[in-house]
Amino acid sequence: MDVKTTFLIGELEEEVYMKQPEGFPFSDGEQLVCLSQETYINKVLERFRMKNCSPSVSPIVKGDRFNLDQCPKNDLEREQMKNIPYASAVGSLMYAQVCTRPDITFAVGMLRRY
């Protein structure tokens, strides 16, 4: 049984050895695997071509509204949106939310509806 399957359905009987990947910081020792929040967010911004976006103090400003009227309405708009991996971007935000940023939960929840 491999580590991934064991994690889902059983107990692992063998010892598992891992090596710290390059670029990951040593937090309290080599026995830990850590994810740098800043590095992860920067890679997400690069992946979705948003590296030059403006930072915000709050993920959503009071009064911001999202609705279906903002979704693509015609074939041209739908075709243009095919080049934007929206679901993947929201998934990346959900990962950041679950692992390190519970404060963005409401904003990510609003975005994933569309």
Contact 86, 49 (CB under 8 A): no
pTM of the complete model: 0.57
**Per-residue pLDDT, 71:** 82
Residue ranges of the domains in the chain?
24-112
Residue range 25-77, pLDDT digits in tens: 665 566 666 677 888 888 988 998 888 888 877 777 778 777 788 888 899 98
